[in-house]
Structure 1
Amino acid sequence: MNQINIKPVPVELVGETLMNISPLYLLSTVASKLPIAVLLDVKGRIGDWLASGGKETDPYIWQQVAYAQKVYATMRGGEKG
């Protein structure tokens, strides 16, 4: 039997990778599960921000993603309010 030698990934690299996740990628993970009104609102706000010169990683974008995730969690019966 052949053994596979898998080396663990250093914790520092895992944390670094997680910190580099795009907020728009995170939004895409819940977008199809959101009510259309919520998705259109978040998309419009993000689009306006980017069109005005904002960056994809600005705190405002993270705020919009957090809102979308909160709506999704509430829909699933998780977080209330």
Structure 2
Amino acid sequence: MKIKPVPEALVGEALTSGISPLYELHQIACELPLNVLSDVKQRIGDWLASGGKETDPYIKRQVAYAQKVYQALKGGEIG
């Protein structure tokens, strides 16, 4: 499966949604392939361990990527 980078517009939506990015990830986690979920969780964990915050744009980009994979698996457009 080839997935294009997350568009900046989608990241912008995630930045203004008001819902915790980690909550959004939690909502779709059981539907994601294990390798995608493991990678996203590892990246988020590393970011937080290095002093980053839950609401940082980096976290939101990771969640936006997971959402994009989720949509692709559900038959939505990938890019």
What's the TM-score, normalizing by structure 2?
0.77
Report which structure shows greater RCO (CA 8 Å, sep ≥6): 2
User: What 5-or-longer segments of structure 1 have no aligned partner?
Assistant: 1-17
**For each residue in 1:4-55, what CA deviation from the matched residue of structure 2 results, as whole angstroms up to 9, or x when unmatched?**
xxxxxxxxxxxxxx84311000000100000000000000000000000000
Match of 2:40 in 1: 42
* Aligned-partner Cα distance in 1 for 2:55–2:29: 18
Q: For the Cα contact (< 8 Å) 2:25–2:67, is it kept in 1?
A: yes
* Corresponding residue pairs, total: 64
Who wins on radius of gyration, i.e. which is larger?
1
Contiguous gaps of at least 5 residues in structure 2? 1-15
Residue 77 of structure 1 aligns to a residue in which SS? coil
Distance in 2, matches of 1:46 and 1:32, equals: 17
2:43 partner letter: R
Q: Distance in 2 between matches of 1:41 and 1:77?
A: 22
Aligned to 1:54: 52
Q: Percent identity?
A: 69
Q: Distance in 2 between matches of 1:19 and 1:72?
A: 18
Note the C-alpha offset of 1:80.
2.2
1:64 & 1:79 partners in 2: Cα distance?
A: 18
1:24 counterpart residue number? 22
